[in-house]
Structure 1
């Protein structure tokens, strides 16, 4: 049997269906943001059915077009499902059946969402009093199955098993020992709490996802259709001409920008790393370092405002604070992290001599080609910071400004002609489609997280773990922080940003809040460590992907990633010790920034073993390490003394370098 080619009628039909549904989903989101024609709960149900249908249609087309390859299928979290051990006859049968299975799942998605829509008023207002019918409960179970299946297919087994485990745990509670034991839930209760009671899959996580998250994902898709990624690539090429460090710093900053939006360190590493890692290797950077630099930079992107890998929207909703408050709290820690990465990378480049000569001047005309993209960026900042609109409202006006700007720009550049209008309209509609396609894999995952949250809370597990951590800490604050760090890293392993954040917030943050830590600070603390799990062995999913691209040993790449990313494991402690880094105040925040930034530099020098002038041995590295700890978390007087000590050591090192350079020139 021959594989169907992409130009068959089936594939054309699928492409048309995907295009139409994608455009409609984006337009529906924009319409809801503008008009608010229905409750968010009802809107979320329609979004769920449409998003799942679109996702399964994409799966059908991927299978029919043989886009994923016949031997393996890679998922966004870096896992690969191999057919090596499966007999060829079974493999062939499964491949032939896959499109039909996906088609049935797409139809089931339409049916489930349609059923909830048809019975919405009864389910919302009467069912909790009069009771749910047997068909209601079956549909609830179907919804739970669909979101778990979509999550598993989109993000692999790590997050899929978490959702499955939460359902199993809810059902099998009486079989568990100790603190994990509970009375258990019947399948009817699981269906009710997980979906058909309009909670769980329909909870606040999915509500935020279908509004605040969706509007920004769709904006990013439209910007890509308008050529934003091409503009970023051009800028990167020009910057390489004038940076002594070559492409390395550009790779870090590019991963920072992409990572804030993607919501997955693994996906970020795979996309940006596919071109930054080869460029770093061409510059002479060792493969293990190239993989490490990209994976650390990609992981940090999830911490960078304004999107923070979509966690910023969830955090604002969970805490009941404004979105502006969250991105303000996250800004300095994120800048600290990337400052530390840039310093560490710079020291690595100097230490191993991987610098490049200047090859020309920056072509400023490139900036003019993409200056129009600054208009929607300005609108976004203005609507969020000055007007203090919700992210949904800000996203709406940002999309409108992007579309208007592109029409005006194209008319000015290409002429006021009908052909220009047609071409720009096609770009716009392509952008609608791209935004929905980018959003489709997230639909199942966000709904699955709602299921996890609903069932974990219903069983009381989160309260039990929080109480247990407090007991283990025995009143010792630093021990509680260390336990919170370890637990957050463990629960974050292999997870996309929203999933990792939700899990650690449910299970870890309450114990810190009970100890007296500010809620926002506690959330930031556990969130950071959940993100750093992407470079933490044994999973280190971002490093695994980076090492595959670079051809380096996974173990060697992990070692270098931990060295480059070491300050990231200290930064969360810095904003526990310096609350003004999260809650800004003058002049405390400025003073804390100076101390902590200096301490981060010293920590990078200690971990890299190079001070900008020469390699340093263990005694001097230990001195830098101690001074770093004191500058970051000591009393004020100690912070001042430690900062002065660090600056003095660096000044001496710089003086030695200058003297050596002068002697070389004199000779």
Structure 2
């Protein structure tokens, strides 16, 4: 590609290097999980080797099987704990170049519990309901290590919430009558976290030790092969020249990349460092440019085929194949991105913005010729998930191998041994934050299962909703959003799905729709003020006001806030118990509804839309989003009326 052409590749200019430095600073500030030490020298080499060994262990156990369940999960948690104490300092004032003596002690202590389980496995299992003093010591040590690691990695919120649940488990007799339970002493409660698969070593850790680790590793291998650059360049080639092109490039590139890396904030700084300056140069405001990047980045966790790590946990909680999650998520995710694209297009039309010069953009054919073969691993993964009949774990291992092989097809994507080893190390590092969150949320889930808190909360939500599905959905949405403000998206989803999904299912809502509903709003907490990490990170790059960027992000993502209600009332949108024709029909009307929502929010369609007409358009949009012949007719009538009114208005402006 001509050096003068615009590209989202790594920029080696002084301006590009400064932007990269700003992006790193923003990531460290807004994403607690990225505020890691910069290890170097012998310690850095030791850490690198440990990360590679951790990845090799997980690859080996995925391909050939591992030790018994409790030993495998305890060893996985120990590995993640040890890496976390090396990576994350105790506080902001701690040494950020090397671990302290206390950190090394914590690293060593991380392996005490799995060694004890391995040494006395049968005894630990048999004493699960009648713990010995040594069992209690090990359980207390494990719980303390997980809480401290979670505090370092994710911030205080998850650890504090876990402590609140522990207090609830121990002092249940003193709780208000509705939440009262028999209460448990520390020996019983801590052993529940430690000696079975319902606490710290529960479902979430099981998923982290298998699916999540392997797919994060797959994403790292893909990045090493140049997939991120490919997504960026193909997005520029396809949409850069269109009206408001840079914003569309941001949406497409962030969606593709977010589907692989599953981290909203990291996605913002990865693609936003390049797309936000392009959007600002085109004429978009600082706040709108930041909002486009943040809303598109958050949506990556909702977009198949890989989605965020929470999707794997959903498959495990629902006991379904991951391929089914992909099918359920496809249309809602596309509606979400369609809503953003529509608003970007309308804003560009309203403000008279144009695209980038076509002669300065990459050529789509050239990009496909140079890097198009990188799509083969994605196609192969879909084949393995849908048609091979093999497990997700085996599919992931095979896809990693295929990615390495396919990368050899071109000099621009070729991975050497060094690249693959670096990908192994990066995969282990990126898994730490997810794995620690999964371990810590196991404390909360353990207390809920032992005390019956989940059932109590489900009944409370139904009671507050007065048996109304709509009110119950609203209360569930609020619960998810509040939890998501302080927690990483994975714990937020796990907790809300454990509490709210049963309540929704009791009202006759399909379990798949109930879990996906919780999933969506747990993800959207990254966008919504007052704690909108993705929006604030984007504002840090764009130079815009953080709160205004957050509000603009919510407006851009408005379709995503409505879509969950749509698939609850119309499961056909998730292709549940429906034919292809019915699914297509529901999706088509939903697309028109999303278009009308964009018109109502932006207040523009060929010409400015009057306030009263925006209200009518909103009614039409909601009608199309609710299944039914009558509502569809209302929506189509509104669409036709708006078309003719705005067409006449546009002609009047032309003649004026």
Mapped to 2, the partners of 1:23 and 1:377 lie a distance apart of 24
Per-residue CA deviations over 1:413-434 (Å, capped at 9, x if unaligned) read: 89xxxxx9xx711211121111
For 1:389 and 1:494, the matched residues in 2 are separated by 38
User: Secondary structure of 2:305's match?
Assistant: coil
Deviation at 1:59, TM superposition (A): 3.1
Residue 512 of structure 1 corresponds to: 504
Contact kept in structure 1, 2:240 and 2:248, CA below 8 Å = no
Report the more deviating stretch, 488-497 or 134-143. 488-497
What residue number does 1:333 align with?
A: 332
Q: What is the match of residue 585 of structure 2?
A: 591
Distance 1:646 1:240 in 2: 27
Distance 1:357 1:236 in 2: 12
1:148–1:445: 8 Å Cα contact kept in structure 2? no
Q: Determine the structure 2 residue equivalent to 1:371.
A: 372
Shift of the 165–544 alpha-carbon distance from structure 1 to 2, 3 Å rule, reads farther
2:600 equivalent among 588, 606, 631: 606
- 1:480-512 residue CA offsets vs partner (Å, 9 max, x unmatched): 222222222222224323112101111211111
- Which residue of the partner structure matches residue 128 of structure 2? 128
Matched, 1:99 2:100: yes
Q: How many angstroms does 1:178 deviate by?
A: 4.0
Q: How does 1:530-569 map to 2 (within 5 A)?
A: 530-569=522-561
Query: Are the aligned partners of 1:226 and 1:428 in contact in 2 as well (CA < 8 Å)?
Result: no
Change in CA separation of 1:198 and 1:581 when aligned onto 2, cut-off 3 Å: closer
SS of residue matched to 2:580: coil
Give the SS at the match of 2:304.
coil
Describe the SS at the equivalent of 2:530: coil
Is the 8 Å Cα contact of residues 14 and 57 (structure 1) preserved in structure 2? no
- Once the two structures are TM-superposed, the CA of residue 98 in structure 1 deviates from its matched residue by 5.9
**Mapped partners of 1:327, 1:10: distance in 2:** 38
Q: Is the 8 A contact 1:264 1:497 kept in 2?
A: no
Query: TM-score scaled to structure 2, two decimals?
Result: 0.88
Aligned residue runs from structure 1 range 420-569, under 5 A: 424-569=416-561
Q: State the match for 1:35 in structure 2.
A: 64
Match of 1:17 in 2: 46
- Bigger shift: 643-652 or 576-585? 643-652
- Secondary structure, in 3 states, of the residue corresponding to 1:201? coil
SS state at 2:67 partner: coil
Distance 1:592 1:118, change over 3 A: same
CA distance in 2, matches of 1:45, 1:252: 40
**Structure 1 residues 532 and 453 mapped into 2: Cα distance closer, same or farther (>3 Å)?**
same
Cα offset, 1:236, TM superposition:
4.4
Q: CA deviation at 1:621?
A: 0.2
SS at match of 1:128: coil
The residue number in structure 1 matching 2:175 is 176
C-alpha distance in 2 between matches for 1:145 and 1:271? 34
Work out whether residues 174 and 183 of structure 1, in 8 Å CA contact, stay in contact via their aligned partners in 2: yes
Shift of 1:409: 4.3
Kindly state the Cα deviation for residue 343 of structure 1 after the two structures are TM-superposed: 0.6
3-state SS of paired residue (2:88)? helix
- Map 1:153-164; keep pairs closer than 5 Å: 153-164=152-163
Higher mean displacement: 109-118 or 202-211: 109-118
Query: Within 2, Cα distance between the matches of 1:614 and 1:37?
Result: 63
Q: Following the alignment from structure 2 to structure 1, what is the Cα–Cα distance between the partners of residues 602 and 159?
A: 37
Distance verdict in 2 for CA 1:216–1:538, change over 3 Å: same
User: Under a length normalisation based on structure 1, what TM-score does the superposition of the two structures give?
Assistant: 0.86
Is the CA contact 1:150–1:441 (under 8 Å) kept in the aligned structure 2? no
Deviation digits for residues 63-100 of structure 1 (CA, Å, limit 9, x no counterpart): 9xxxxxxxxx8xxxxxxx6xxxxxxxxx57x8799622
CA contact (8 A) 1:225 1:434 kept: no
Q: What SS does structure 1 have at the residue aligned with 2:84?
A: helix
Runs (5+) with no aligned partner, structure 1: 1-8, 64-72, 74-80, 82-90, 415-419
Q: Deviations over 1:133-168 (max 9, x none)?
A: 212211111111222222221121233322232223
Is 1:633 aligned with 2:632?
Answer: no
Q: Give, in whole Å, the separation in 2 of the partners of 1:29 and 1:651.
A: 60
Equivalent position SS for 2:312: helix
- Residues 538 and 174 of structure 1: CA distance in aligned 2, closer, same or farther (over 3 Å): farther
1:591 to 1:46, Cα distance in 2 relative to 1, 3 A: same
Q: Does 1:621 align with 2:609?
A: no
- 3-state secondary structure, aligned to 1:489: helix
Distance in 2 (alpha carbons) for counterparts of 1:148 and 1:299: 27
Hey, what's the Cα distance between the residues in 1 that align with 2:255 and 2:109? 38
2:80 paired with 1:51: yes
Aligned partner of residue 110 in structure 2, secondary structure: helix
Whether the 8 Å contact between 1:257 and 1:301 is mirrored in structure 2 is yes
| Distance of 1:521 and 1:480 partners within structure 2 | 14
Map of 1:26 onto structure 2? 55
Q: For 1:106 and 1:507, locate their aligned partners in 2 and report how far apart those are by CA, in whole Å.
A: 34
- Structure 2 CA distance for aligned equivalents of residues 239 and 594 of structure 1: 24
Q: Distance in 1 between matches of 2:346 and 2:477?
A: 27
Which one of 636, 639, 642 corresponds to residue 646 of structure 1?
639
Aligned pairs for 1:414-425 (under 5 A) are: 424-425=416-417
Distance of 2:177 and 2:526 partners within structure 1: 31
Q: 1:585 to 1:409 in 2, by over 3 A?
A: same
Asked if 2 retains the 8 angstrom alpha-carbon contact of 1:263 and 1:496, the reply is no
Task: Mark the CA change 1:552 to 1:585 in structure 2 (over 3 Å): closer, same or farther.
Answer: same
What is the root-mean-square deviation of aligned Cα atoms in Å?
2.6
Q: Tell me the CA shift for residue 446 of structure 1.
A: 1.1
Q: 1:494 to 1:276 in 2, by over 3 A?
A: farther
Q: Does the 8 Å CA contact 2:128/2:195 hold for their aligned counterparts?
A: no
